[in-house]
Amino acid sequence: MDQCVAELDFDGVKAFREPLFYTQRKLNVLKCLENPNYDKISRLTRMISRMEKSLNERKFENDYLDEQTRQKVDKRFNESMKNIIEKSKNELEELQSIVPEQIIDDDKILELFEGLERNEINGVEFEIKKDKIFLQLNVNSEHAEFTFRTSDNVNLEHHLVKPSKSILGKLGFNTATFKK
């Protein structure tokens, strides 16, 4: 890729860039599946790094500021940045200390679906959001129904944001009853 850049071969660079971005996105998805806080951790790490670099750079070098004023502005800015960096580091440390929940990684879900297909069982419930939102799948003969429910029988809309409702609608769910 470096050779393509040096030769100004934009098509060659594009040929390298697209698979690289695709691979990075897929890797990001896998890391998010492994740790739901990965995006936040990654964002905070990059932000802290940029802010720490900015502390070492000279700011406010404008001609219209006298040296004393510039030093005061620099000092305030650095104090503010250090405060933000400290808060961000604490948040990062807290996120990194959270141990992701164990995920069942075996064939139990496939066995459940096979049991539904053979009419050995007629319903399955999946926990979507821990102790809050569940998805029930009920099957009888040739008919299957998906229903979202909450543990406290509160209207599901209280747990969803507008984009989530829109996505459920696009997936074919009735947005009033949350059934499909």
* DSSP at 98: S
Mean pLDDT of 77-102: 89
**CA pseudo-torsion sign 112, 113, 118, 123:** positive
- What pLDDT does residue 60 have? 60
**Tokens (6 digits) for 30:** 């896998």
Question: What are the φ/ψ torsions at residue 98 (nearest 5 degrees)?
Answer: -75, 125
Q: Which residue has the higher pLDDT, 103 or 45?
A: 45
- What pLDDT does residue 127 have? 80
**Tokens (6 digits) for 124:** 């399955």
Question: What are the φ/ψ torsions at residue 140 (nearest 5 degrees)?
Answer: -140, 125
d(CA 46, CA 41): 9
Q: Of 156, 152, 165, 149, whose CA–CA distance to 173 is shortest? A: 165
Whether residue 45 is predicted with pLDDT greater than 90 in this model: the reply is yes
- Parse the chain into domains and list their residue ranges: 2-97, 108-170
Residue pair 156/178 in contact (Cβ under 8 Å)? The answer is yes
Whether residue 91 is predicted with pLDDT greater than 90 in this model: the reply is yes
With 0-12 CB in 10 A as exposed, 13-18 as middle and 19+ as buried, what is 61?
Answer: exposed
Residue 155 DSSP SS3: coil
Q: Which residue has the higher pLDDT, 125 or 85?
A: 85
